[in-house]
Amino acid sequence: MSCQIYQNTNYKVYKVSDGFIVHNVCKGFEEGHTHVQKYDTCMIMIKLLISKKVPKSRSRYFLESLLRLSDDDKYRSELEQLLECV
């Protein structure tokens, strides 16, 4: 069972039993959501997605999560380039 705990124009955050789910409401749920462990991570991801900034983190999972959530082709391309180096 999940409970929505945050929402802005494009993103929602749900609390689930094992952490949190971030969902880009401009994309279907199946292709536009990711699971994370901490609420702070959710908010960092949303901030990066809105500002279209490249993360300092080079974690494969973090980059793939941003890629899954993003609906901006240019930003997705930057993330894909980073993933090639990881």
| pLDDT one-digit tens code per residue, 46-58 | 999 999 999 988 8
Domain spans of the chain?
3-85
**Percent with pLDDT over 90 in the chain:** 92
Question: In which residue are the tokens 């900034």 written?
Answer: 53
- Tokens for 21? 């789910």
On whether the CB atoms of residues 13 and 42 are closer than 8 A, the answer is yes
DSSP result, 37-81: S-HHHHHHHHHHHHHTPPPS---HHHHHHHHHH---HHHHHHHHH
pLDDT tens track for 5-16: 999 999 999 999
Question: In which residue are the tokens 């959530």 written?
Answer: 69
